[in-house]
Structure 1
């Protein structure tokens, strides 16, 4: 059977094609049924899930039968894939005109059987892409430790047998408020980009309140186009322009000082198309988190690019604190994954990871046995090792000792840590280095996440299991003894990375791609066939 090409077929015309294409040229009933089923069996055999689905139904059609329910399924599939561009999906993988051409090419029962299986393949490809993502995350960047929550493919097919297939199709995409708002932002940015963007870029340098000139006018005009400033003919850097710059800075995770310095101007000059790429990437990332069970009525959400840790209760932020994440060095970047927090440890000891021991402390100990005197060095039986014999004979491959820091005010983990056991040895914790939380870009750790307000974070968690969370925490803190406190209700933790995210009200938020991960994801999506509309600035 030859697959022709059809373009521009939609609406009532598409319905007519669907209704007619599958009834023309049908052979005598008994021979036709046998040929159809043989074709289904042969073509389905190449896909174990599809083969199992059709065997269970004795190779009866799901799409190509006669009757209103089959026509409705075909129409629902065409309508769904026609809407794929609004989701930032690679439409070439399930092109609606190609599907119509495929059906119009039916000449006999065997052709019909081939089309039957092909429609199931197209549907499953589309369903997986829109439901749990186009990409395999770890292939885009090995710091993304996520396995998308793929659904059972036979169950996806079976879901079409009952109820309205249009409702089933619409329910495939993430049903979160975030995804819906990202779709809306995508549509708006596409319109802006197609209309020429936000206008002239602002010349480089620094602009401060009181300044005037062409650069200030360009700044004013661009902020008006972005929706941060009401239309104005003012040519000076006045109070209104300063307030607009501050709001822009807040929406982009910058110090909101109202001064348009080089970093602020750089962000203002980012084109609508580049912002659109960030939104499309965010939609893909949202699909990776489309868990059947949801993310938890209460969960901890850490957006690495935003340098914030939040507690979410029923989709509302009930606690927020600044965070410090892993350094940009490849071996120190914080990975992305989800797990479950089970325990907090008050007055924690710090057991130094092997990588830090051999890469950072061993070179110091080799030249000065007394270095890092705040750390205990112990052998495999837990006995403290004397430093008097020195360590110059050891290398990274044969250093046999462990290192740790006992609880105390100068402990690297501060007064509390929060554990969600994982193979990456990542957790949330306090830190004595409080000065880092005032920085705009907070990438300083070895991978773990430091919290700006760890005690308040602990109180918020403990409030679910004690009437006096502050007193409970402080009494154990005063003991000076390392004290694990199990959480009676373990809490899901999601470490995410979003350079674009939305709010219930206000402008979309953008953050810098500190690890370069979103650039890689966009490149992978583009290679997979995702295409944006035209537009530059």
Structure 2
């Protein structure tokens, strides 16, 4: 019986065509199945690899991945990657016999040049595993043994390179997990960056490309390798301060903009950076720090310093954008300051509030005669009163404050308390950053514009009133923490660890450092 509408001749032709396609498909599958075995046998000359089959290997590899999860730094990524790519042993097939493994190991063994312990990347273990495949009399006798050896080597090679790449490009630690007041966007290794290791064409070029090349990093690295000793520091303390600041430079949190305001807390200094150079700098006062007496150092610190436990007034590390200024600002006094300082002062001196230009509010209504209140009997815990300091010479924010969004409610501002700028240790504020030359900063940001002229005029008013003035274009602001850097002349600058953040970083880094494991 023939199919309606088709002749016997046509039907026979169709069946022959389908049969031919089926044979091609079967031959193609056979070729794919035997390709892995042929490749491995060609390199090893070991019969155990000759019949290696991708599907059989995949089943073994899947089990080995599951068993070795605890040994992998990124087990979820690794498992997902291999599952999505047919469990192909990329490193074994593409890098084992062309010298790439030897290149990887050579770079790993030089990790100490970055202060990192080469043992983190297990170079000796990798060499021993790779040699099993290259030995004239291999210990691998069966195809099943070959599968397991391949799986373990593949995992070890991929894991080591992912770790090495991540450590050099992103740092060994995540600062957002170290510091409770760290609010700077910082990139960390992700599936894209980790996935690049599986598509390397030139291993030597890749490993060269991920070496830190920032001139500041290279300056610190050279000092570290040369055994440089800073003035008034021991060799060990110098070594440690270089190591923690090299780690900071590996973090991907650096300003991408051409022009920005940069505040370095341990340096008590603000710079306006334009095209890589400081075009304006001034002293600043920052929030009071936990290590302001410098009783603990990187060389000698007690156990309580190992975890980040900031003082309430420490200035946070942050990135934001200055969007406006308030000239002759009103200071809405925070409750913490009001209860611990303002009410105490008012209890001692009934005219303290009026002398300081501080208005008192109760249930959102202005209190006309606050000096009639017995402040010694006011319970600070009830939060009955609000305090606002009016514009004027006594205002703690001075004549201007620079505003930017942040979760800590801090800003840059002027101050009537100028004496502190003569101090060497200027961690004295409640958390905001006090400026030595606020008008100079306004001039730099606003340039020679009518808005700047208005700011300068308003700051001189005898009967001041608040005025908000928008900044266009907005300018980024970075508040960071660096205790060692190369200045514009290439000289290394060192600052003391006023917040103890070096100590926290070093103590968490110890397990990664050369000579500390």
Instruction: Say whether residues 1:310 and 2:337 are aligned partners.
Output: no
- Matched with 1:426 is 410
- Matched with 1:529 is 512
- Which consecutive unaligned segments of at least 5 residues does structure 1 have? 1-18, 198-266
SS, match of residue 424 in structure 2: coil
- Matched with 1:188 is 226
Matching residue within 375, 379, 382 for 2:362: 379
- Matched with 1:274 is 237
1:222-237 matches, cutoff 5 A? none
In structure 1, how many angstroms separate the alpha carbons of the residues matched to 2:508 and 2:225? Answer: 21
1:150-161 matches, cutoff 5 A? 150-158=188-196, 160-161=198-199
Q: Would the alpha carbon gap of residues 366 and 171 (structure 1) be closer, same or farther in structure 2, given more than 3 Å must change?
A: farther
Q: Would the alpha carbon gap of residues 118 and 137 (structure 1) be closer, same or farther in structure 2, given more than 3 Å must change?
A: same
Q: Would the alpha carbon gap of residues 161 and 422 (structure 1) be closer, same or farther in structure 2, given more than 3 Å must change?
A: same
1:424-463 matches, cutoff 5 A? 424-463=408-447
In structure 2, how many angstroms separate the alpha carbons of the residues matched to 1:532 and 1:483? Answer: 58
1:208-219 matches, cutoff 5 A? none
Contact 1:143 1:335 in 2 (8 A): yes
Instruction: Say whether residues 1:33 and 2:54 are aligned partners.
Output: yes
- Matched with 1:212 is none
Contact 2:41 2:49 in 1 (8 A): no
- Matched with 1:55 is 83
Instruction: Say whether residues 1:410 and 2:437 are aligned partners.
Output: no
- Matched with 1:320 is 281
In structure 1, how many angstroms separate the alpha carbons of the residues matched to 2:374 and 2:43? Answer: 84
| Residue-pair matches, total | 434
TM superposition shift of 1:371: 3.2
- Which consecutive unaligned segments of at least 5 residues does structure 2 have? 1-39, 70-74, 134-139, 141-145, 291-310
Greater Cα shift, 509-518 or 72-81: 72-81
Contact 1:323 1:449 in 2 (8 A): yes
TM superposition shift of 1:154: 4.1
TM superposition shift of 1:483: 2.2
- Matched with 1:363 is 344
| Superposed CA offset, 1:417-445 (max 9, x none) | 11221112222111111121122221211
SS, match of residue 499 in structure 2: coil
TM-score, structure 1 as length reference: 0.73
In structure 2, how many angstroms separate the alpha carbons of the residues matched to 1:398 and 1:158? Answer: 58
Q: Would the alpha carbon gap of residues 63 and 26 (structure 1) be closer, same or farther in structure 2, given more than 3 Å must change?
A: farther
Contact 1:136 1:147 in 2 (8 A): no
Q: Would the alpha carbon gap of residues 347 and 60 (structure 1) be closer, same or farther in structure 2, given more than 3 Å must change?
A: same
TM superposition shift of 1:157: 2.0
C-alpha RMSD of the superposition = 3.0
Contact 1:27 1:109 in 2 (8 A): no
Greater Cα shift, 49-58 or 101-110: 101-110
In structure 2, how many angstroms separate the alpha carbons of the residues matched to 1:59 and 1:446? Answer: 57
TM superposition shift of 1:301: 1.4
| Superposed CA offset, 1:48-94 (max 9, x none) | 212222233222233111578x7465345323322311112233321
| Superposed CA offset, 1:474-510 (max 9, x none) | 2443563322223323333222222211124242111
In structure 2, how many angstroms separate the alpha carbons of the residues matched to 1:67 and 1:92? Answer: 21
